[in-house]
A and B are shown apart, each in its own frame.
Chain A
Amino acid sequence: MYARVIFVMGILLSQALLALSPEETAKLVASIDENQRNSGDYKSLVFIEEKERNKPTKLFEALVYRRDVDDKWIILFTKPKSEGGKGYLRVEKNIFLYEPALGKWERTTERARIGGTNSQRSDFDESRLAEEFNHQYVGLEKLGKFPVHHLKLSVKTGIDVAFPVLHLWVDQDTKNILKKQDFSLSEKLMRTIYYPKWEKMYSRSKKADVYVPKEIRIFDEVEKDNSTLVILKEVSLDPLEANIFTKAWIEKKSK
């Protein structure tokens, strides 16, 4: 009996000892951002598979260009043929959609679904967790065979984000997110996202290594049968052309 009590106490004590202090948690959140921060340009060739209840599965291949320093990105669809040349240009809080068949642009809201998928503007943005969220350490847990830190993040006052509450499961070893859950303001679970593959790359602009997710699996927790798989087939951190984030560049590229 005593042995069992001592064992349980021991477990609790070890949990308490292993738990991170608020300063350590802050440091961890900052390091998550820092791990992914490239400080320069980014380009990737992504594959997106979108499943929705009672609807046919959608597949896309797209080029993603990003310049975090200016808060700009482009998504340019390459496949399938029917989507070829469609482009999204994000400049600050605006997203412009280009339809090559029409040769026209349309400004949409920043919360618009990208290409009719469950992806949102924030999914393509640079990680700014430390800047946008307050944090709280939940505990040390295991995800599969990986020991992870479980954190709860709540959005700071006055900052507008798609999901105001996040739960993160962060790999103890690499400080990369392995699992993320997005919650609404009323703390209703909206999405669960897994990041099972990361690639460590050298960034010339940062002059250090950065971690790039190679696979993202998004599960809609409201429409339970909906899910999105994102695979980053190619990634490049080389500088992009200076004038790339303009309507003119996309129009030229998708002719």
Chain B
Amino acid sequence: MRILSLLRILSRLALRDLWLRKIKTLGMGGILAMGTFLIVFGLSLLEDIEGTMKNGIIQSVAGHLQLYSKNAKDSLALFGGGFMGREDLAEIPDYSKILPSLLDHPNVAKVIPMGFEMALLGRGNESDELFDSLREALTSGDTEEIRSREEQVKFHLNFLSKEFEQGKKITADQKLLAQQTSWIAEAASDRFWLDIRLGPENKMQFLETKIAPLSGEKSPVYLRYLGTDPQLFQNAFSKFKIVSGEMIPEGKRGMLLASRFREDFLKILPARKFDMIYRKKIETGLSIATDAELKRIQRELALQHRPILTHLDFYETERLRGELVGYLEERKEHPGGSSDSLEDLLKRFLVVDDSNFLSRYNWFYEHIAPLVRLYEISPGQTIVLRSYTKSGYVKNVPVKVYGTYSFEGLERSDIAGQFNITDLVTFRELYGLMTEEALQELTDIRKTVNTQEIAKENIEAALFEGEPVVSHEPDAFSSSTFVDPQITAAKGLAEDYRPEALRQGLIINTAIFLRDESKLVDTQKELEKRISDLVPVNVIDWKKASGIVGQFIEIIRYVLLFGVSVILLVALIIINNSMIVATFERTQEIGTMRAFGAQKGFIAGLFLIEAFLLSLFASGVGTLAAWGATVWLKSVGIPAVHDVLVFLFSGSRLFPNVNETYMIAGPLIVVVLASISALYPALLAASIPPALAMQENE
């Protein structure tokens, strides 16, 4: 009872003092409130992000644990390690040797074999594609098909001819241009098409060597692929979903293109530019008039008429021209006459601004997209992947694309959308490790030539000190002849494989799902020990396996904790200092209180209560602000304005949750620390003797 009344008196006195020093109180309170806000809001948000990111990483490709060879020169980084170039990960030569031991562990639920590599996507320009089709038609002898291809080629030649006509105004080398124009004219002549039916080889060579290069070169596309057991992968990773086409059938070699990769690299350029503007303008709310990047994309879009024109035949061109005239006239944007070419109309159509963008975007997808090949590769098509194999040789492997896929919630993420999935059999072929048999063959070849190994340092002495460099044929008047050796063409990989092939042979890493995630650390250690008895391996958790993005959250956490620490430290120093100053300012008052019988404990308690009340009130305000901000953001969502954020949020928006633990812990930490910082001034004030008050009076 006595303590309560004492506390009441102390509290009233403390509140009075705080009120009398309003400005200082407000300043100190503000800093403490901010510190509390950061602890409660920042750490809650971080925990939410970590939760979504963890789910995204584990359920897309990593699993709870990843296992890879200890002989790897680089660390496994599924989503990129932050450095350019291919990672050097060693192989696990035979998966069948480690699989039983992995599955034997009581906490291991699923094991998914994997391997990552890069391949080059072989592709010619549009002329190459047209001429390939024509060659196939001529070989087949199908007259209808030949006629159809002839029309396509002639239309393309007509388009090229117009382009070269325009090129006359800007080309410096007029002689070369004239020659190229004459080639186009020759290829378009009736005589040429009569001859091609009689003897196609020479004429085809003319088209392929003289005309095809005139369309320019396409830049190469590098394709990152993940070799795995496709069925196992589909069943294990809950975020995996087929977007178009179908799943790779069991026992068939095939590929699933990442939907994001296809959108970013294999879509026709004008569509890509339209999509980029749509995302920035419509989804993010930026304006073409004010945003510099949008303006740049807008300028690039305005130049994209050519890819559309090259995809159209004569009838489609006429139809689209008519429709486009109607569209532009309806909007009074067709000042030209009805004689305008489709090229002119498209050039006008592709100039977009804030007012017409959505209408143009919709019209493009409704009327133009169905006429053109929107994507370079579509389900059902067979593509050729070129890889520089581990044996050093270049390998070209055909693989059928069965469909496209994405990870649920990560559809817009470029980081998550970089893996194109294939089966392990195709992966191993592209990886191309040197076999014992191949090595023996090379030794045999070398023996037949009897080459001399010479170090570069001694080469000139070794090569030019001995015999004369010129030898003569025995009979100087008859050149040597030799019979061509027999050529055995390398066989391609079969389309089918035995399902057990996926459980045997080379892999690079495996994803491991656990039954009980809480035992992750122990299981990680146990597996590493257990498998290393068979093959030296590293077993790492999902966060480490994800690479730089997984570490990103740790970086944010450290930055946030550092920020909070600095703010709290500043607050505590200010509290400490201002209370010391207050002690000196209030010497007379304290002395008087002591003279009236106030005990040292009373004086110290007064200062401690002051700090306590200030920090309690301030941290309460900070916690309330954090709660309010979280509740508001939960209703509207935090937009993922960058690809990394899409990945971290596992979607385009994050809806944060109120974290009760931090709402209690945050203010508690602030109150305790503030009270501790008031200890020294409180003791200093308590040590003021009553006589001092009298001396001051004198």
CB-based nearest A residue for B123 = A106
B209 at the interface (CB under 8 A from A): yes
Q: How distant is the Cα of A194 from the Cα of B90 in the complex, in angstroms?
A: 36
Q: How distant is the Cα of A83 from the Cα of B446 in the complex, in angstroms?
A: 16
Docked complex: A43-60 residues within 8 A CB-CB of B:
43, 45, 47, 49-50, 52, 55-59
B471 touches A194 (CB 8 A): no
Q: List B contacts of A109 (CB < 8 A).
A: 217
B628 at the interface (CB under 8 A from A): no
Given the interface pairs A80-B442, A247-B205, the reply to whether A236 lies near B480 with Cβ below 8 Å is yes
A79 touches B445 (CB 8 A): yes
Given the interface pairs A197-B471, A202-B473, A254-B489, the reply to whether A50 lies near B446 with Cβ below 8 Å is no
B396 at the interface (CB under 8 A from A): yes
A139 at the interface (CB under 8 A from B): no
Q: List A contacts of B477 (CB < 8 A).
A: 202
Given the interface pairs A57-B442, A238-B479, the reply to whether A101 lies near B470 with Cβ below 8 Å is no
Binds A, one of B101-109, B301-309, B460-468, B501-509: B460-468
B442 touches A59 (CB 8 A): yes
Q: List A contacts of B124 (CB < 8 A).
A: 106-107
Given the interface pairs A47-B449, A200-B473, A248-B201, the reply to whether A145 lies near B464 with Cβ below 8 Å is yes
A231 touches B449 (CB 8 A): yes
B394 touches A80 (CB 8 A): no
Binds A, one of B385-393, B535-543, B561-569: B385-393
Q: List B contacts of A83 (CB < 8 A).
A: 393, 490
B438 at the interface (CB under 8 A from A): yes
Q: How distant is the Cα of A47 from the Cα of B398 in the complex, in angstroms?
A: 28
Q: List A contacts of B395 (CB < 8 A).
A: 82
Q: List A contacts of B392 (CB < 8 A).
A: 50, 52, 55-58, 116
A156 at the interface (CB under 8 A from B): no
B464 touches A94 (CB 8 A): no
A214 at the interface (CB under 8 A from B): yes
A231 touches B465 (CB 8 A): no
- Bitwise, A109-148 to B at CB < 8 A (1) or not (0) is 1000001100000000000000000000000000111100
Q: List A contacts of B480 (CB < 8 A).
A: 201, 234-236
A152 at the interface (CB under 8 A from B): no
Q: How distant is the Cα of A2 from the Cα of B104 in the complex, in angstroms?
A: 93
A214 touches B205 (CB 8 A): no
Docked complex: A207-255 residues within 8 A CB-CB of B:
209, 211, 214, 217, 219, 227, 229, 231, 233-238, 243, 246-248, 253-255
- Bitwise, B214-243 to A at CB < 8 A (1) or not (0) is 000100000000000000000000000000
Bin the interface of chain A by size. Answer: 35 or more
Docked complex: B200-220 residues within 8 A CB-CB of A:
201-202, 204-205, 208-210, 212-213, 217
Number of residues in B with C-beta < 8 Å to the partner? Answer: 63
CB-based nearest B residue for A63 = B484
Of B208, B441, B446, which contacts A96 at CB under 8 A? B208
Q: List A contacts of B451 (CB < 8 A).
A: 47, 49, 229, 231
B469 touches A174 (CB 8 A): yes
Given the interface pairs A81-B490, A101-B491, the reply to whether A202 lies near B476 with Cβ below 8 Å is yes
CB-based nearest B residue for A145 = B465
A78 touches B476 (CB 8 A): no
Docked complex: B482-500 residues within 8 A CB-CB of A:
482, 484-493
CB-based nearest A residue for B132 = A105
Q: List A contacts of B448 (CB < 8 A).
A: 47
- Bitwise, A81-117 to B at CB < 8 A (1) or not (0) is 1111110000111101001111011110100000110
B179 at the interface (CB under 8 A from A): no
Q: List B contacts of A188 (CB < 8 A).
A: none
B205 touches A93 (CB 8 A): no
A178 at the interface (CB under 8 A from B): yes
Q: How distant is the Cα of A209 from the Cα of B486 in the complex, in angstroms?
A: 30
Of B205, B390, B491, which contacts A91 at CB under 8 A? B205
B464 touches A82 (CB 8 A): no
Q: How distant is the Cα of A52 from the Cα of B461 in the complex, in angstroms?
A: 23
A203 at the interface (CB under 8 A from B): yes
B332 at the interface (CB under 8 A from A): no
Given the interface pairs A52-B392, A143-B460, the reply to whether A94 lies near B209 with Cβ below 8 Å is yes
Q: How distant is the Cα of A55 from the Cα of B492 in the complex, in angstroms?
A: 24
Q: List A contacts of B212 (CB < 8 A).
A: 94, 107
Q: How far is the CB of B117 from chain A (nearest CB, A)?
A: 15
Q: How distant is the Cα of A59 from the Cα of B122 in the complex, in angstroms?
A: 24
B472 at the interface (CB under 8 A from A): yes
Q: How far is the CB of A121 from chain B (nearest CB, A)?
A: 14
Of A49, A61, A200, which contacts B470 at CB under 8 A? A200
A233 touches B471 (CB 8 A): no
Q: List B contacts of A246 (CB < 8 A).
A: 201-202, 205
Q: List B contacts of A57 (CB < 8 A).
A: 392, 442
CB-based nearest A residue for B392 = A58
Q: How distant is the Cα of A81 from the Cα of B477 in the complex, in angstroms?
A: 36
CB-based nearest B residue for A58 = B392
Of B204, B208, B390, B488, which contacts A85 at CB under 8 A? B488
Q: Which of B124, B210, B393, B489 has the most CB of A within 10 A?
A: B489
Of A92, A106, A199, A238, which contacts B122 at CB under 8 A? A106
A171 at the interface (CB under 8 A from B): yes
B384 touches A49 (CB 8 A): no
24 A–B contacts, CB within 8 A, in A order = A45-B484, A47-B451, A57-B442, A80-B441, A93-B213, A94-B212, A99-B396, A100-B490, A101-B491, A106-B122, A107-B208, A107-B212, A143-B464, A144-B463, A174-B470, A196-B469, A197-B471, A202-B473, A214-B471, A217-B454, A236-B480, A236-B482, A247-B201, A248-B201
Residues of A within 8 A of B (CB): 43, 45, 47, 49-50, 52, 55-59, 61, 63, 76, 78-86, 91-94, 96, 99-102, 104-107, 109, 115-116, 143-146, 171, 174, 176, 178-179, 194-204, 209, 211, 214, 217, 219, 227, 229, 231, 233-238, 243, 246-248, 253-255
Q: Which 8 A-B pairs have the closest CB atoms?
A: A144-B464, A85-B489, A101-B492, A100-B489, A196-B463, A116-B394, A237-B479, A234-B482
Contacts A107-B213, A199-B470 aside, 11 further interface pairs with beta carbons under 8 A come to: A55-B392, A80-B445, A82-B393, A94-B213, A107-B128, A116-B393, A194-B463, A197-B469, A234-B480, A235-B479, A236-B482
